[in-house]
């Protein structure tokens, strides 16, 4: 595994000119409130961690992360820095085009933040790149596309933002940044409404039950994400 920005231009060039150039992974995060108990970088720490673990198992090239994302429902909480759809779309579009220009044949965009408009911006950018480069293999997913498969099985069906799963994962990754246990909150939003102040419906900034979280669960969850990513990339 190589971190893209630790290579010289010569090393980078050699790497990309291999008969089979490595899969390039682009980590995407967010700067977003995660309750009173988790850090603002929660959605960045998770993909960076699983990518590091994945890189111990397979040869990948890790691009410098995008630390910002689009956060609608949490935007008015302290610390959330949300970028616009067009900004995220254009940023990711440019990064993907540049990677292709430098010889990338297989690219994975992995986001720790899983909000719908955020993921839509990533997917639209990827779609436009693939239309121009039909031979390119390109994947866009969130680690939450993987872990939410476990909702309704080992976790409550509606576990979500800063809930049991996410809190457990951060307890395993950055325990020193977890402040207390967080309180259970299962907000109900009025159907179909577009809200200026969605935070009124979940003043704690939590959608789930972080009080059920622990580091052991987090270790299992993170391993599960790495296993599933390895499986996805093994025949990519």
In the complex, least distance from residue 20 CB atom to Zn ion, rounded to whole angstroms? 34
In the complex, least distance from residue 14 CB atom to Zn ion, rounded to whole angstroms? 37
Site for Zn ion in 89-108 (CB under 5 A): none
Decide whether 42 or 82 has the Cβ nearer to Zn ion.
42
In the complex, least distance from residue 31 CB atom to Zn ion, rounded to whole angstroms? 11
Decide whether 129 or 221 has the Cβ nearer to Zn ion.
221
| HEC sequence for 49-92 | HHHHHHHCCCCEEECCCECCECCCCCCCCCCCEECCHHHHHHHH
Decide whether 22 or 33 has the Cβ nearer to Zn ion.
33
- Biggest CA pair distance of the chain: 56
Relative to beta strand 106-111, strand 60-62 is unpaired
Decide whether 40 or 55 has the Cβ nearer to Zn ion.
40
Distance of CA 131 to the CA centre of its chain: 24
Letters for 3-32 (x = contact with Zn ion by CB under 5 A, - = none) are ------------------------------
Residue with tokens 């933040």: 113
Site for Zn ion in 33-52 (CB under 5 A): 42-43
Relative to beta strand 2-3, strand 23-28 is unpaired
Task: Give me the residue whose beta carbon is nearest to Zn ion.
Answer: 43
Rounded Cα distance, 207 and 201, in Å: 10
Decide whether 28 or 129 has the Cβ nearer to Zn ion.
28
Give which of 201, 195, 165 is closest to 182, Cα–Cα.
165
Total of residues contacting Zn ion (CB under 5 A):
2
Per CB under 5 A, residues contacting Zn ion are: 42-43
């Amino acid at each position: 595994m190589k971190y893209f920005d630790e290579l010289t231009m010569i090393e980078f060039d050699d790497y990309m000119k291999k008969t089979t150039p490595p899969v390039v992974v682009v980590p995407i995060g967010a700067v977003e409130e995660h309750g009173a108990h988790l850090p603002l970088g929660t959605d960045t720490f998770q993909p960076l961690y699983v990518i590091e673990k994945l890189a111990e198992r397979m040869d990948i090239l890790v691009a410098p992360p995008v630390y910002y994302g689009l956060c609608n429902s949490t935007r008015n909480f302290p610390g959330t820095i949300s970028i616009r759809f067009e900004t995220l779309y254009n940023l990711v579009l440019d990064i993907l085009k540049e990677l292709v220009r430098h010889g990338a044949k297989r690219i994975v965009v992995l986001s720790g933040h899983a909000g719908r408009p955020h993921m839509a911006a990533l997917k639209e950018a990827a779609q436009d790149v693939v239309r121009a480069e039909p031979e390119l293999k390109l994947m866009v997913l969130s680690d939450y596309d993987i872990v939410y498969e476990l909702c309704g099985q080992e976790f409550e069906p509606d576990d979500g933002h800063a809930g049991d799963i996410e809190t457990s994962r951060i307890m395993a990754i950055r325990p020193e940044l977890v402040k207390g246990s967080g309180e259970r909150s299962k907000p109900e939003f009025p159907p179909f409404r577009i809200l200026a102040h969605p935070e009124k419906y979940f003043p704690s900034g939590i959608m789930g039950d972080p009080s059920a979280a622990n580091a052991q669960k987090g270790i299992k969850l993170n391993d599960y994400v790495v296993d599933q990513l390895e499986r996805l990339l093994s025949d990519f």
